[in-house]
Chain A
Amino acid sequence: MNNAETAIEAKDMVKRFGSFIANDHLTFSVYKGEIFGFLGANGAGKTTAIRILCGLSKPTSGEIRVAGFNVFTETEKIKKHIGYMSQRFSLYEDLTVFENFRFYGGIYGMSRSAIREKTSEMLGKLGITELRNTIIASLPLGIRQKLAFSVAIMHTPEIVFLDEPTGGVDPITRRQFWTMIYEAAASGITVFVTTHYMDEAEYCNRVSIMVDGRIEALDTPAKLKARYEAASMNDVFIKLARNTIEK
């Protein structure tokens, strides 16, 4: 993995809101094809970072490239190569499943037939072909999350950003969701995922742990556990958080 090409390069990424520093000199790289976990407690600055990488928010300073493009000057080029699933709900509740697929596929410039094929393929994989013409509002949260993810990758982006994708869903659905993430990664899509569920960190190739706007640790889950002599990622996180407070 070490010699692989990078999908995201961030060097000294800073974002200030007035006197508050949400991202304090973040430096990290994400390799192509990996599942990169971006961990931290609520309010640690994860969403701010992901919004910068997606081109939704301008960083204060830093050198950042996503899919080879500069986030200061080439946000629109970046947007052609990424998918994004926001923390807030991103599907139109008053449209049907297919209408949502068609809308987002259409915006990404997919052809009519490609949209149709991709929709049936993805619904087939989820085993919910029969829900194609159901209004989103009438679907349970778990299915909506899976659909939102499918919509985010339907145009086969190079990188997909998932902001707290499993927030509020039950453990079984979370497991299924991670299966989908693995499949996406296997098909060559780089996955950048934020979460505050530490158990989910075990599923990632590498994780970075953010505390109060700074990256405190970045490595594979196995190495992190070894370094902090912890049994689980949760323990790693607790130790890190305690260290920061003591500092």
Chain B
Amino acid sequence: MRTIFYIVQKEFLQVFRNRMMLPIIFVIPVVQLLILSYAVTFEIKNINLYVVDNDNTVSSRSLLEHFRSSPFYHITGQGTNSRLGMEYLQKGKAHQMVVLLPGFEKNLVTGAPARVQVINDAINGSAAALMNAYTMSIISDYNKTIITRVLPAAASPMNVCWSFWFNPELDYKTYMVPGILVLLVTIIGMFLAGMNVVREKEIGTIEQINVTPIRKYQFIAGKLIPFWIIALFELAIGLLAARLIFDIPLLGNIFLIFFIASVYLLVVMGIGLFLSTITNTQQQSMFLAWFVLVIFILMSGLFTPVESMPQWARSLNVVNPIAYFIAMIRMVMLKGSGFQHVSDKLGLLFIYGIAMLSLAVWRYRKTT
């Protein structure tokens, strides 16, 4: 135990003495949290729209007025030539073009289908789908108003209302902030501990340690604990920022969050330390860690819903610690889930952590 303490003490000294590392560990992540949380939103607020009105009647103008008055649309151009609108799309000045063909009003009156062309820039497929859905609802609202005028009996036969639970304002930050917290904690946990060991290999001090009677588990524990504490501290700062600045609700128990994070860190740091035992330079270990991390992040459901992944990809997430952590932290913070709701996942994570750390201890070689 005392041996571990001396390593921990040494690591802290080294971290706190590195003038560049300190702000990188403690300031940049918080800044990132602040900035990035605002950036990550799928909400569509400004649809740049180009409108072409070739009918120019009361009805066509009235439909376009619906777009104009919607807060989601920003009319960037208007004309009678759809080729100009295409130019706008191509330059990226417009995301969508709505074209009303001649005879729009006449068709409505005669009961023939009145056609409206909606052309979307669909490079971002999901944004295009959402944008299109907004446009469809504007068109169908307008349609409803004219149906009401002509055929009062057919209008609004039922009432659809909706409510959003756990996040009634649909505040995207509420969703992303816990995710970004996970990311920051992960980067600190996975990279710092692992790279630290490789650094000792590179500068040669590890020989001096390997020639002492230190036990392998003591060495790994000594490298684990400092960064474990730093990462938890980081989480505390992040949670505080989330609470004070973003007013993110914390429905569940804060101690449960820290408990989950502690277990989670065992896994990522175990992975980082294991990678450090199979690499010789910091560059290599960083490569490997980065590779693993990118895949874990992308698959984790942090940015994209896990539900939309195919089954095989979801099965792969069994070994993805980030997926567990993100799911749990969101459950606890946003839905107020308790220990009984997360205990399965937490148990698995704990076993995983012990396995990774044992692997790291086993693979660490004092003798070559």
**A residues within 8 Å of B by Cβ?**
54-58, 75-77, 79-80, 82, 84, 86, 88-92, 94-95, 99, 102-104, 106-109
Contact = CB atoms under 8 A, between A and B. Distances in A.
A151 to B, nearest CB: 8
Interface of B: 2-3, 5-7, 9-10, 13-14, 17-18, 203-205, 207-215, 366-368
B368 A94 contact: no
B204 A89 contact: yes
Given A76-B213, A109-B3, A95 B204 contact: no
A23 B235 CA distance: 53
Contacts of B18: 94
Contacts of A88: 203-204, 207
Nearest to B207: A86
Contacts of B215: 76
Looking at B14, B18, B366, B367, the one whose CB has the most chain A CB atoms below 10 A away is B367
A67 to B, nearest CB: 12
A235 to B, nearest CB: 34
Contact of A108 (B203, B204, B213, B367): B213
The 9 closest A-B pairs by CB, nearest first: A106-B6, A88-B204, A90-B208, A84-B211, A79-B213, A80-B213, A103-B10, A107-B212, A86-B207
A88 B2 CA distance: 27
B211 A99 contact: no
Contacts, number: 80
A92 B10 contact: yes
A58 B368 CA distance: 6
B6 A103 contact: yes
A55 B367 contact: yes
22 contacts: A57-B368, A58-B367, A76-B215, A79-B211, A80-B213, A84-B207, A84-B208, A86-B204, A86-B208, A90-B205, A90-B208, A94-B18, A95-B13, A102-B9, A103-B6, A106-B6, A107-B6, A107-B7, A107-B212, A107-B214, A108-B213, A109-B213
A77 to B, nearest CB: 8
B204 A90 contact: yes
A82 B204 contact: no
A108 B212 contact: yes
A104 B5 CA distance: 12
B160 to A, nearest CB: 65
A168 B340 CA distance: 64
